[in-house]
């Protein structure tokens, strides 16, 4: 920790980035450390390749996060990666980030590849925001309400409101301290778990409608095509929390949500794609959740993805029939 604090103190122009398709911890840890370092007069740039989900846009400083290309990586002398189990999780900017002379990797995923020049990887931490809190304290940076709001939100969302197995004592003690720094829990909850838009409710309806259960009753599976997102005017980030329905079904050990990604094959005006027959391969993201007994992080890793033992994911280029068949085959060993 001290070595990393020294590296940060020596940095002059710092790029902070967190994983694409961000969740609350990705946005929270990025903003918390960014605002903290800025209060120490560092020149910082905050980067996330994806659009920040609407539910996290209330966080102080969120407008500072840029998604544009990193125009000149040569101008940075330090990169800090947050909540990324591998550098590729930063998205296509990974190539530019690699050019920055020194890289610090701060993360809590057990599958982290230790890609940094310095690695602060703490799998026991409930969230990357917990590690950022410890670092801020170590560096004696004053805690403000703005920083505290991001740390609180990161921990709240990554622990599923203190329900998931990563919920540890620190989750409570840090959040208690963040409240004493001025965080309003009901204000945060109103945003993070706020009312569903009608469009999002319709998307949930599609997801629930698509539920399939494996023959042995241990795997549940939901599917969302691009077409459904288009029809309901929603985005992949709107599926946040949907998998809890599939996981909470009695006797289910693993729940999966298969989402069709933006396809590199251009759409035709009638909404179909050239070669979109059953044999046509397209990119899909598969999110996995476990009931706590199965290590879905290991499953995701075997498909080139990663994550935690109870929440993980991977991207696969294939067709829907094939992906379902792979998952159902896998369910036989659960």
Binding site for ligand 5GP (CB under 6 A): 19, 21, 23, 85-86, 89, 287, 305-308, 311-315
Complex with Mn ion: residue 128 or 259, whichever CB lies closer:
128
> Does the protein bind Mn ion through residue 158 (CB under 5 A)?
yes
**Binding at 311: pick from Mn ion, ligand 5GP, none (beta carbon under 5-8 Å per type):** ligand 5GP
Q: 44: closest CA among 7, 4, 70, 12?
A: 12
Smallest gap from Cβ 310 to Mn ion, in A, equals 12
CA 148, 6, 126, 82 torsion: positive or negative? positive
**C-alpha distance from residue 95 to each of 26, 160, 274, 304 (Å):** 20, 32, 31, 18
Smallest gap from Cβ 205 to ligand 5GP, in A, equals 20
> Does the protein bind Mn ion through residue 240 (CB under 5 A)?
no
**Binding at 291: pick from Mn ion, ligand 5GP, none (beta carbon under 5-8 Å per type):** none
Which run of H or E residues covers position 14? strand 13-18
Residue 280 in contact with residue 273, Cβ under 8 Å? yes
Q: How far apart are CA 39 and CA 142, in angstroms?
A: 8
Rounded to the nearest 5 degrees, what angle is found at the Cα of 123, between the Cα atoms of 73 and 323? 80
Those residues whose C-beta lies under 8 Å from the C-beta of residue 140, and which sit 6 or more positions away, are none
Interface with Mn ion in residues 122-151 (CB under 5 A): 127-128
DSSP per-residue letters across 152-197: HHHHHHHTTTTTSTT--HHHHHHHHHHHHTT--HHHHHHHHT-PPP
Q: 207: closest CA among 217, 220, 197, 218?
A: 220
Smallest gap from Cβ 126 to Mn ion, in A, equals 9
Smallest gap from Cβ 309 to Mn ion, in A, equals 13
**Binding at 287: pick from Mn ion, ligand 5GP, none (beta carbon under 5-8 Å per type):** ligand 5GP
Q: 209: closest CA among 201, 198, 217, 197?
A: 201
Q: What track of x and - describes contact with Mn ion for positions 31 through 70 (by CB under 5 A)?
A: ----------------------------------------
Candidates 19-27, 218-226, 250-258, 272-280: pick the segment binding Mn ion (CB under 5 A): 19-27
Smallest gap from Cβ 173 to Mn ion, in A, equals 18
Among the listed residues 83, 146, 238, 295, the single contact to Mn ion using CB under 5 A: 83
Smallest gap from Cβ 143 to ligand 5GP, in A, equals 25
């Amino acid at each position: 920790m001290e070595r990393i604090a020294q590296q940060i103190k020596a940095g002059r122009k710092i790029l902070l980035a967190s994983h694409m398709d961000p969740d609350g911890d990705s946005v929270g840890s990025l903003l918390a450390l960014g605002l903290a370092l800025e209060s120490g007069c560092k020149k910082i740039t905050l980067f996330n390749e994806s659009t920040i989900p609407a539910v996290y846009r209330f966080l102080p400083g969120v407008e500072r996060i840029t998604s544009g290309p990193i125009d000149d990586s040569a101008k940075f002398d330090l990169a800090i990666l947050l909540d990324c189990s591998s550098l590729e999780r930063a998205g296509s900017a990974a190539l530019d980030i690699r050019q920055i002379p020194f890289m610090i990797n701060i993360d809590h995923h057990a599958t982290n590849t230790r890609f940094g020049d310095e690695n602060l990887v703490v799998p026991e931490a409930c969230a990357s925001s917990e590690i950022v809190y410890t670092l801020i304290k170590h560096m004696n940076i004053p805690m403000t309400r703005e920083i505290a709001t991001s740390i609180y939100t990161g921990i709240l969302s990554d622990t599923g409101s203190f329900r998931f197995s990563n919920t540890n004592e620190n989750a409570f003690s840090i959040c208690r301290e963040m409240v004493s720094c001025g965080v309003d829990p009901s204000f945060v909850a109103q945003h993070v778990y706020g009312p569903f838009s009608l469009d999002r409710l319709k998307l949930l309806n599609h997801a629930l409608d698509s539920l399939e259960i494996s023959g042995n009753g241990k795997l549940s599976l939901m599917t969302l095509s691009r077409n459904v997102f288009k029809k309901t005017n929603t985005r992949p980030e709107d599926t946040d929390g949907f998998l809890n329905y599939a996981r909470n079904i009695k006797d289910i050990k693993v729940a999966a949500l298969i989402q069709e990604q933006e396809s590199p094959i251009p759409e035709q005006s009638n909404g179909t794609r050239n070669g979109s027959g059953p044999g046509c391969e397209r990119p899909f993201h598969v999110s996995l959740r476990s009931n706590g007994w199965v290590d879905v992080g290991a499953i995701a890793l075997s498909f080139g993805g990663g994550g935690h033992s109870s929440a993980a994911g991977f991207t696969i280029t294939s067709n829907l029939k094939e992906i379902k068949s792979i998952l159902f085959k896998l369910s036989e060993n659960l």
